[in-house]
Chain A
């Protein structure tokens, strides 16, 4: 704002509210606030009138009532007698599952494609360019539908696995690829001491975390030795041991067995089923977003000035170490913020699950619950709130990160 020299104050006049820059901003803010309050009041009173006219009310009691419908993918215990609230939580977990899987896969695709696009190999870099342009310029909804159609039309139904003249067979007798999803063996712990499912996996997780710390300690030890003697000891077998020995030992103690999927009745039973709708959504989101991430990665690497590479080379670093020690740390500063907003996009785009019948939160709370209870305002509000919370928490993480890597200049 232009703040001009203060005119000699000669008492307050009403016209100063408009003409005096010192007061004008208060006038504007007051007007804006009043307009906002009026707008909200207007919409609110319309809502009240409409609801009264239709004899409806705003109430969240429906969340406690039995939902009455079944959900196929249930990360937690759920049946048709559970409440709408629980159905929403199942939906939220399903959203988080697909978003997490897609984020990891998209990062892998994106980094690969971004690095390969800068490759000196003409054919590879052109292929990657085609991939990036093809996926960036077509709506993700169309990709989801295409991949879902590939799943349902190209893969065989369970029936073709049955009988003497079966036209399809399982891979290694362990994996079945059907148009209802992919079935894989499922680990189960048979030792009677370890019966609680969740606790077992927590135990596995704890061991993995411990291994990670162990591996890091070995790395630090190697660095210390190198700094003291100039020779880095060979540690790969130690690291490998730290990762695998405790894990295998734990598995043996817990009595790990694999339950293989078997064709029983109409479907494969046993094992883990990764449903077609999940796969379609997961891969469509991953491939689509991967194309955007590839562009971010490429831009990040190109943003590091060529002088850095040359300086590192003149210091005598090998190409691999140049990438690891010089280019990537600088490129990451450019890559990570857009990468996180791509993760945000994946989470938001996962709401397209509705197109393939994957029961995410838009499918349960914003889909069947909305249809069955007719509580449009309440459910849509809750739905928005959920996505808002996710987005804001990811943005908060991003801000913390941005502040931590901010270049400290001057």
Chain B
């Protein structure tokens, strides 16, 4: 009994928790660490490496925010959350922001009282099936057994898709991605459905990735992005504009390689404003002038982060597609910095 009393007393006396109130920024600064909610492990998006260091596309957003606010991209406490716990963790103040491929939906934004601060990946739900099954379209799946990872919007999209196409199916709900993968590979289900990006990541880990096809139908829109609590607009602005800074940096050609040179001053006023050599954007957002520079230096611009974690040269091997810059025909678009 002594031990836990002691832990309790210690927690009360020494540890100061995050505050679910208005001033998240002050709390993060006082704590010296950013508490960032991530998944329990999706390769490429957020997963601990062999040394337990978190890496991935969503992780990079956390690190950029930490760099902007605290000046240290390592000052992040990563909190693994499941589909069930992520919203409570955010609502209760256990985490300051959630970067866990979470779909931006109406009810989450309004009913659950969260604020989505942008989209860092445009995804959609797809299906994977063994080639041997001879299925070419998701509409051929009448009567199939479908593995779903629970705790996401996937179940709802799936029910809607099959209902609107008037075909039947047998859902097999699974808790984790790895277990769903096992079920699928053991042929306990005919097809596995989740976000197309995760399907690509999962297929990359199969023994014979060529034996499996990702069906052409994308049955839902899944704009994934970081989110914060309603009601703390200052903090929401910081997360939103950190993400936008990464996106603008790619558009304007600021990379982690040339950022030192560019921050000496350039002819492009927008670059200067982002890097803090002109104007007072940092002051407006409640940070110092170099906040965006640090955020970009943490992992590079949006394009660099993408290529490093989930791009075509990684095992996940995703093409930019919808996630190309608007100038390249994609949807990634940042409002102007001025």
In the complex, is A directly touching B at CB under 8 Å?
Answer: yes
Q: Which residues of A contact B (CB under 8 A)?
A: 50, 53-56, 68-72, 79-81, 152-153, 157-159, 179-180, 264-267, 269, 276-277, 354-355, 357, 359, 363, 367-368, 370-372, 374, 376
Q: In residues 209-238 of chain B, which contact A (Cβ within 8 Å)?
A: 229-231
- The interface bits of chain B over 183-206 (1 if a CB of A lies within 8 angstroms of the residue's CB, else 0) are 100111110000000000000000
Q: Which residues of B contact A70 (CB under 8 A)?
A: 155, 158-159, 162, 169, 171
Give the distance to chain A from B250, nearest Cβ to Cβ, in Å: 34
Given A159-B187, A354-B175, check contact A69 B156 (CB 8 Å): yes
Complex Cα–Cα for A54 and B87 (A): 11
Q: Which residues of B contact A55 (CB under 8 A)?
A: 113, 230-231
Contact B151 A267 (CB under 8 A): no
Contact A179 B156 (CB under 8 A): no
Contact B150 A54 (CB under 8 A): no
- A-B contacts at CB below 8 angstroms, number: 110
Interface: B20 (CB within 8 A): yes
Contact A68 B145 (CB under 8 A): no
Contact B231 A371 (CB under 8 A): no
Give the distance to chain A from B112, nearest Cβ to Cβ, in Å: 5
Contact B84 A370 (CB under 8 A): yes
- The interface bits of chain B over 145-167 (1 if a CB of A lies within 8 angstroms of the residue's CB, else 0) are 10000111001101110110000
Contact B88 A376 (CB under 8 A): yes
Contact A265 B186 (CB under 8 A): no
Complex Cα–Cα for A371 and B108 (A): 11
Q: Give the residue name and chain of the B residue nearest to A179 (CB).
A: B188
| Contact pick for B182, options A152, A266, A368, CB 8 Å | A152
Complex Cα–Cα for A8 and B133 (A): 94
Contact A180 B230 (CB under 8 A): no
A-B contacts besides A179-B188, A277-B172, A368-B150, 18 pairs, CB < 8 Å? A68-B155, A68-B159, A70-B155, A70-B169, A79-B163, A80-B156, A159-B187, A180-B145, A180-B189, A264-B143, A265-B143, A266-B133, A266-B143, A357-B175, A359-B173, A368-B155, A370-B84, A371-B152
Give the distance to chain A from B147, nearest Cβ to Cβ, in Å: 9
Q: Give the residue name and chain of the A residue nearest to B186 (CB).
A: A152
Complex Cα–Cα for A3 and B138 (A): 80
Give the distance to chain A from B23, nearest Cβ to Cβ, in Å: 12
Complex Cα–Cα for A367 and B173 (A): 10
Complex Cα–Cα for A300 and B111 (A): 57
Interface: B21 (CB within 8 A): yes
Q: Give the residue name and chain of the B residue nearest to A159 (CB).
A: B187
Q: Which residues of B contact A (CB under 8 A)?
A: 20-21, 83-84, 87-88, 91-92, 108, 111-113, 132-133, 141-145, 150-152, 155-156, 158-160, 162-163, 169-175, 182-183, 186-190, 229-231
| Contact pick for A50, options B92, B188, B230, CB 8 Å | B92
Contact A54 B230 (CB under 8 A): yes
A-B contact pairs, 6 of them (CB 8 A): A55-B113, A266-B133, A266-B144, A357-B175, A367-B151, A376-B88
Complex Cα–Cα for A53 and B189 (A): 44
Contact B172 A72 (CB under 8 A): yes
Q: Which residues of B contact A374 (CB under 8 A)?
A: 87-88, 108, 111-112
Given A152-B182, A368-B150, check contact A50 B231 (CB 8 Å): no
Which of A56, A70, A376 has most B Cβ within 10 Å? Answer: A70
Given A267-B143, A357-B175, A371-B150, check contact A157 B188 (CB 8 Å): yes
Ranked nearest first, the 7 interchain pairs of A and B with the lowest CB-CB distance are A157-B187, A80-B159, A69-B155, A266-B144, A55-B113, A265-B143, A68-B156
Q: Which residues of A contact B143 (CB under 8 A)?
A: 264-267, 269
Give the distance to chain A from B59, nearest Cβ to Cβ, in Å: 23
Q: Which residues of A contact B142 (CB under 8 A)?
A: 265
Give the distance to chain A from B83, nearest Cβ to Cβ, in Å: 5
Q: Which residues of A contact B171 (CB under 8 A)?
A: 69-72
Give the distance to chain A from B274, nearest Cβ to Cβ, in Å: 33
Given A266-B145, A367-B84, check contact A54 B188 (CB 8 Å): no
Q: Which residues of A contact B186 (CB under 8 A)?
A: 152-153, 157, 179
Q: Give the residue name and chain of the A residue nearest to B19 (CB).
A: A53
Complex Cα–Cα for A291 and B168 (A): 41
Give the distance to chain A from B224, nearest Cβ to Cβ, in Å: 16
Q: Give the residue name and chain of the B residue nearest to A154 (CB).
A: B186
Q: Which residues of B contact A269 (CB under 8 A)?
A: 143
Q: Which residues of A contact B190 (CB under 8 A)?
A: 266-267
Contact B91 A54 (CB under 8 A): yes
Which of A264, A276, A357 has most B Cβ within 10 Å? Answer: A357
Contact B145 A267 (CB under 8 A): yes
Q: Which residues of A contact B88 (CB under 8 A)?
A: 374, 376
Complex Cα–Cα for A368 and B159 (A): 13
Q: Give the residue name and chain of the A residue nearest to B152 (CB).
A: A371
Which of B108, B169, B171 has most A Cβ within 10 Å? Answer: B171
Contact A69 B91 (CB under 8 A): no
Q: Which residues of A contact B173 (CB under 8 A)?
A: 357, 359, 363, 367-368
Given A157-B188, A363-B173, A371-B84, check contact A68 B150 (CB 8 Å): no
Contact A72 B156 (CB under 8 A): no
Q: Which residues of B contact A363 (CB under 8 A)?
A: 150, 173
Contact A357 B188 (CB under 8 A): no
Complex Cα–Cα for A142 and B84 (A): 22
